[in-house]
Chains A and B, each alone.
Chain A
Amino acid sequence: MGKEKIIPILALIVLVLSGTATAYIYATQVDKETISINGEEYTIEQLFYLAESKTIETVDGEKTGASLEELIPKVGIACPSCHEYTIRAADYEKTVDWEIMRTGVLSDIKKVYFPDTPKAFWVGDIIEIEVK
C-alpha cells in the first residue's frame, strides 16, 4: 500500500483514537467535594482547620494554602519522610517524595503548589493524596 492510502487511513485512525479518548475523559469525570488522604475523606475546610495556612513564593507569584508539612502528620502519617505521595486528580497525577511534599501548600481550590518545582507538579482538582 502506497503513501497515498496509508497517510489518509492513519489520519482517520488518529481522529477516531483522539475522539474516543475525549469521550472517555468526559465519561470518567469525577465531581468530588472531598479529598481522600491515606484512605480517609476530608473536606477542604477540615484540612484548613487541621493545618496552618502559609504563603509560598512560586514562579507564578505567591500562593497561599494549608501547609502540607503540617497537614500530613496531622492526618495520621507517623513518619512522613518514610513515604512517597501520589497527588491525584481525575485525569492527572504526580508522585513526589517528602522533600518536595513538605515545601508545598494545598489551596482552597484543591490545588497543590510547590515553590521549587515546574508547574507540571501543581496538580489541580485533587481527589486523592495516596500515601505509598
Chain B
Amino acid sequence: MKNLKLLAGILVFGSLWGFSEVIIGSSIQDTGLPAGAIMTGVFAIAFLVLSRMIYRQPGMQFGIGLVAGGLRLFNPFVGCHLCSAIAIMAEGAIFEIIWYKISLDFSELKNVLMQGSMGILSAYFIYIGGYIVTQIVTPIAAGATFYVENLIVVLPKILSSGLIAALIGGVMLPTILLAKRIDIKVKDRIYYPATLGVSALCWFIIIGNWFLA
C-alpha cells in the first residue's frame, strides 16, 4: 500500500512539475526572462522539496524528475524539448545526490541561514548540473557527436546562469519549509482519486495541446 502511495505521489508531483515547465516555462520564455533558471529556482525546488517533506522517501525525487521530463517531451513546439526533458530528468537525480546527507525530517535546516544556504546550493547545482548533462547527452541522443571542447567553452556561461537560480532557491526553500507547520492528513479514499485526477488533467492538457497545435 505504501509503495502504491509513493507511486501516486511520484506521478502527481512529476506531472505538476512537467506541466509547470511546459505551460508556465514556455510563457516565461516568451517574455525573454531566464526561464530555465526561474523554473529550477521556483518550481523544481518547490516540487522536489515538498515531496521530500511529505513522503520522506529518498529516491522518489528521481522518479518525479523522470515523469516531469517525460511530460516535457510531449510539448515539442516550444523551446528545446529534448534538451529540457534531459535536463529535468537530470535535475531530479542531482537533487537526490545533494540531499542524500540531509535527514528526512530536515532537522539540520532549523534556521533561515541554513535553509537559505541549502536553497542556494540545491538550486545552483540542480540547474548547472542539468545544463551540463544536457550539453553532453543531447548531441548523443540526437545522433551527433559530443565534443568536450564545446562544453569547456560554454562552462563560464553555465556557471554564470546558475546565479539567478541560486538566488531564487535561497528565497524559495525557507518559504517552502514554512509549510512544515501545516498538518494536513488526506484519507486514502480522497488521496488516490485526487492524485490520479490531477496527474491525468496535466497529461490531458499537454497531450491535447500537442494534437491541437
Flag if B81 contacts A8 (CB, 8 Å): no
Contact of A21 with B166 at beta-carbon distance under 8 Å, contacts A59-B81, A118-B80, A118-B138 already known = no
Scan A8-31; emit 1 where CB is below 8 A from any B CB, else 0. 101110110111011011001000
Cβ of B157 within 8 Å of any chain A Cβ, yes or no, is yes
Binding site for A on B (CB under 8 A): 76-77, 79-83, 101, 108, 113-114, 116-118, 120-121, 124-125, 134-135, 138-139, 141-142, 144-145, 147, 149-150, 153-154, 156-157, 159-160, 162-163, 166, 170
**For this complex, into which size category does the number of interface residues on chain A fall?**
20 to 34
Bound Cα distance from A19 to B156, whole angstroms: 10
Cβ of A41 within 8 Å of any chain B Cβ, yes or no, is no
Q: Which residue in B81, B117, B157 is a CB contact (below 8 Å) of A92?
A: B157
Nearest A residue (CB) for B103: A3
Across chains A and B, which 4 residue pairs bring their CB atoms closest together, nearest first?
A11-B117, A119-B80, A18-B163, A21-B159
Q: With a CB–CB cut-off of 8 A, which chain A residues contact B77?
A: 59
Q: With a CB–CB cut-off of 8 A, which chain B residues contact A19?
A: 163
Flag if A14 contacts B145 (CB, 8 Å): no
Nearest A residue (CB) for B117: A11
Flag if A92 contacts B82 (CB, 8 Å): no
Flag if B157 contacts A91 (CB, 8 Å): yes
Flag if A117 contacts B144 (CB, 8 Å): yes
Flag if A11 contacts B121 (CB, 8 Å): yes
